[in-house]
Structure formats: C-alpha cells, structure tokens
Amino acid sequence: MGLILVVTTALVMLATFNWRWRLGALGLQYLGVFLLVAQVWAVPLAAVKLLAGFMAAMVLAIGRANSRAEFDVRRWPAEWAFRLLAAALVFMTVASLAPRMLAVVPEMGATQAWAGLLLAGIGLLNLSFSTRTLPVLVSLLSLLAGFEVLYAVVEESTLVAGLLALVNLGIALAGSYLLDAEAPEAG
C-alpha cells in the first residue's frame, strides 16, 4: 500500500502544475513514507516522519496562500508527455538498481528499495524540471523522503529521525519565506 501511494503521489507531483495538487500529493506522500518506515521502525518513531511531513506541507500551503506571485502557468500537453516519458526512464533505472540494493543490504525489503529509489529519482527529476520556488521545494522534500525511506532500513535512531524532521521543517520554513519574497512572473 505504501509503495503504491508513494509512486502515485510522486507521479502526480511530476505531472501537475497546480500548487494545491502538488502540496496535497506531498502530504499523501508522507503518509506512504510513514507506512513504509513503520514496517522497520516502531510506529511512534515512524509517526515523527508523518507529522513532520504534514507540517512541512501545511507551512508551504500557508506560505503559498499568502504569496502575491502567480505560480500556475498553463503548459503544453507535450510537456506532460515528456515528463511522464522521463519518469518511465527513472522506473527503468530503479528496476535495474533495486535488485543490486537488495543484495548489498539484505535486511531491506523490496518495497522499501523500490519506494526509496523511486522517490529519490522522481524527486531529482522534478527538481531538474523546476525553476520556480514551490516546485523546487516540493522536489527537495520528495528527494529527502526517498532518502529517509532508504536510511530507515539501515539505522533506527531517534536522534536521526528528529534531525531529518528538523531538516524537513527547515526547508519548509525557508521555502515559505522565499515564496513570499518571490516576484510575480512578467508576461
């Protein structure tokens, strides 16, 4: 369930240009990360990722709602097709890397390997397509969520979970400030 939720939300964030859809998908993505991390960590410790992710999505939503800049720009259907084709390349890359990762880290499950690599790959892909502040922030948080899924299998540490939650909230707070400072697009 967590893998399906993570893949679906990552593709929604890649394909949509509406800020409400992106931030909603980001919140749901952290629910998927929680489900994947809860398989290897205690539920209260995994809940830290869920709460930090929801808080980061809410901070960005509040920052975007208070921003004066216009973000939603109409795009050509060819751009959607190109983004989804690039996502297919990420899927093929993950299909070749996931079995190798399972061989290197035997305690990792296939769902964690696939989900972590897909989140990191699609987050990096979305980051490379973005020039505006909000998509860059959502991409960074998605990339970090992929790392968190992979790292959760290797290390169960309360301190690391807290520090990663602090990094998520720091990105969201700094991003909220940058959203407010962003100038409207000309023409």
Average pLDDT, the chain: 89
Residue 187 in domain: no
Residue 36 in domain: yes
Residue 135 in domain: yes
Residue 59, pLDDT > 90, answer yes
Tens of pLDDT, residues 124-182: 999 998 888 899 999 999 999 999 999 999 988 899 899 999 999 999 999 999 887 77
Query: Using CA atoms in the order 2, 21, 11, 109, what is the torsion angle rounded to 10 degrees?
Result: -20
Radius of gyration of the chain (CA): 16
Instruction: Name the band, by pLDDT with cuts 50, 70 and 90, for residue 183.
Output: low
Residue 145 in domain: yes
pLDDT value of position 187: 38
Residue 66 in domain: yes
Residue 63 in domain: yes
How many other C-beta atoms are found inside a 10 Å radius of the C-beta of residue 154?
12
CA dist 178 → 130, 174, 182, 187 (Å): 15, 6, 6, 21
Number of domains in the chain: 1
Residue 22 in domain: yes
How many other C-beta atoms are found inside a 10 Å radius of the C-beta of residue 28?
19
**160: domain range?**
2-181
Query: In whole angstroms, what is the distance from residue 71 CA to residue 7 CA?
Result: 24
